[in-house]
């Protein structure tokens, strides 16, 4: 049973949804096939799980404002990862251990009971922060009952200790938590349990030392893929280095081998997951076919969050498309899940495009909700694709650099770009959804994710080259 206070909070949130529904839905920037908040601010995806035939995606949600604050867990369900249904909020801040927010966390199936772990965030009047790792359970996947605190802050860490991700390995449960050490280094900290209630602190499996890799790590996730152990984590406090670490905070991963007995994790270097502007706090789950699926927040904390034009319509942010992860060597490739093909209609196909120092638009290749696929790409000079006169993707065949450029929505009139080196470009797979774009290069070897907000809505997609470019082009309308 939920407490009266939690029920009251949830009722207020539902009223907020009703009150603003027509304003939110009238926003021309509203997305068509991505998860968004019904009102207010959405951030991290939480509790991703395929459970009893249904996919669950929970998310960090502030219903009453388009700023951060005392977070709820919003809730969506789906049978196919494509068509989603909104459910009642799963968790609301209400108890002494979570009164300033039910922060990020994860879900597991414990013998048929859907079990959530989240961080109870508490702030005293004087600003002192407390953190509690909490549990909540459900037998129907729709109604959740809080069970209180299962992990207290261990010695050696500040109260920036949150985002429990729980999984099972050889009949024991493990939990990894994002942390800040008392020396102000970001860490990923491991716990072990037999029953999900009592947790043994094993220690940090990875982290910075002496300030060399950020002051805080958020939203860790550990999983086995391709015979290796992957740790995804979001470090805060990295300085930009060439084309790397251009966003305010990062999201990336390590690949290695985790010794579950000792908590030793021998791993390689950190690699960024996404090269675009808006991508953070990814989380993964295993789907019904055994594939590792990742969904992230299409936003970054503190990065022009108050400047998003959607705020005028009382909502902000969205989640990325679900992406299948595949490990190729020590590199994570991300592929848009196959089921997205269910959204396709109006196929247009140009089997032999060949451009020579020209600018081209193709009949039928336009729109606001579009999937574009370019295969067998080759060329010289620079190939660029301009979308809605606002965002432009280009690849320089000589310099071997991919660039995403957009007009800044925070500083109008200013262009800004993100780049990465890519030794060749063979395929480009682009998903445009009104005001979001996700670009997968070479079957997901690199990905650029971004929001964009053109001044004037148009549906143009323009191809340009100052040299030569040839490819096979497919386009679908989506939704
Ligand atoms: C990441 C994060 C998490 C925290 C949550 C609060 O975006 O800061 O560390 O649990 O958001 O909404």
CA atoms within 13 A on the CB side of 210: 0
Answer whether 283 contacts ligand 1 (Cβ < 6 A): no
Average pLDDT over residues 55-73: 98
Residue 330 Cα to ligand 1 middle (Å)? 27
Answer whether 218 contacts ligand 1 (Cβ < 6 A): yes
- Top-level class of domain 4-336: mainly beta
Residue 103 Cα to ligand 1 middle (Å)? 6
**Domain limits, CATH 2.60.120.560, in the chain:** 343-478
User: Can you give the pLDDT at residue 456?
Assistant: 78
Ligand 1 site-directed mutation target among 43, 186, 189, most atoms within 8 Å of CB = 43
- How confident is the model over 309-368, as pLDDT tens digits? 999 999 999 999 999 999 999 999 999 999 999 999 999 999 999 999 999 999 999 999
- How confident is the model over 259-309, as pLDDT tens digits? 999 999 999 999 999 999 999 999 999 999 999 999 999 999 999 999 999
Assess whether pLDDT exceeds 80 at residue 457. Answer: no
**Domain limits, CATH 2.115.10.20, in the chain:** 4-336
Ligand 1 site-directed mutation target among 103, 234, 318, most atoms within 8 Å of CB = 103
131, 162 contact by CB (below 8 A): yes
Residue 44 Cα to ligand 1 middle (Å)? 7
On whether the pTM is more than 0.95, the answer is yes
Write the CATH number of the domain with boundaries 343-478. 2.60.120.560
Q: Could you give the residue numbers annotated as active site?
A: 44
């Amino acid at each position: 049973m939920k407490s009266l206070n939690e029920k009251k909070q949830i009722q207020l949130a539902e009223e907020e949804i009703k009150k603003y529904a027509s304003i939110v839905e009238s926003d021309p920037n509203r997305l068509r096939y991505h998860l968004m908040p019904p009102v207010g601010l959405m951030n991290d995806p939480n509790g991703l799980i395929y459970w009893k035939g249904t996919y669950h995606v929970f998310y960090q949600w502030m219903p009453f404002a388009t700023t951060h604050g005392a977070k709820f867990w919003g809730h969506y369900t789906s049978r196919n990862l494509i068509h989603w249904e909104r459910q009642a909020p799963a968790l609301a801040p209400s108890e002494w251990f979570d009164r300033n927010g039910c922060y990020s966390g994860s879900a597991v199936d414990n013998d048929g009971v859907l079990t959530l772990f989240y961080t109870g965030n508490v702030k005293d009047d004087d600003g002192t922060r407390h953190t509690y790792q909490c549990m909540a359970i459900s037998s129907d996947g729709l109604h959740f009952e809080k069970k209180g605190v299962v992990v207290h802050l261990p010695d050696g860490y500040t109260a920036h200790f949150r985002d429990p991700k729980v999984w099972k390995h050889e009949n024991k449960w493990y939990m990894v938590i994002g942390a800040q050490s008392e020396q102000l280094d970001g860490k990923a900290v491991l716990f072990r349990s037999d029953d999900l209630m009592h947790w043994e602190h094993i220690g940090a499996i990875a982290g910075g030392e002496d300030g060399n890799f950020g002051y805080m790590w958020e939203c860790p996730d550990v999983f086995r893929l391709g015979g290796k152990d992957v740790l995804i984590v979001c470090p805060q406090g990295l300085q930009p280095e060439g084309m790397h670490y251009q966003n305010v905070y990062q999201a990336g991963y390590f690949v290695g081998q985790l010794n579950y007995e000792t908590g030793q994790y021998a791993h390689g270097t950190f690699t960024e997951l996404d090269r675009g502007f808006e991508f953070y706090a990814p989380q993964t789950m295993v789907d019904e076919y055994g594939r590792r699926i990742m969904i992230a927040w299409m936003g970054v904390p503190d990065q022009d969050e108050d400047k998003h034009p959607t705020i005028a319509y009382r909502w902000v942010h969205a989640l990325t498309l679900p992406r299948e992860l595949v490990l190729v060597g020590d590199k994570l490739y991300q592929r848009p899940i196959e089921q997205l093909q269910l959204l396709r209609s109006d196929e247009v196909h140009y089997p032999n495009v060949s451009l020579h120092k020209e600018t081209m638009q193709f009949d039928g290749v336009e729109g606001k909700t579009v999937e574009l696929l370019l295969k067998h790409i080759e060329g010289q000079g620079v190939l660029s694709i301009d979308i809605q006169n606002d965002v432009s993707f280009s690849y320089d065949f000589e310099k071997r650099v991919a660039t995403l450029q957009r007009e800044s929505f925070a500083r109008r009139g200013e262009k800004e770009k993100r780049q990465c080196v890519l030794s060749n470009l063979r395929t480009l797979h682009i998903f445009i959804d009104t005001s979001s774009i996700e670009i997968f290069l070479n079957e997901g070897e690199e990905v650029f994710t971004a929001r964009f907000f053109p001044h004037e809505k148009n549906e143009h997609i323009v191809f340009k080259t100052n040299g030569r470019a040839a490819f096979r082009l497919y386009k679908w309308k989506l939704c």
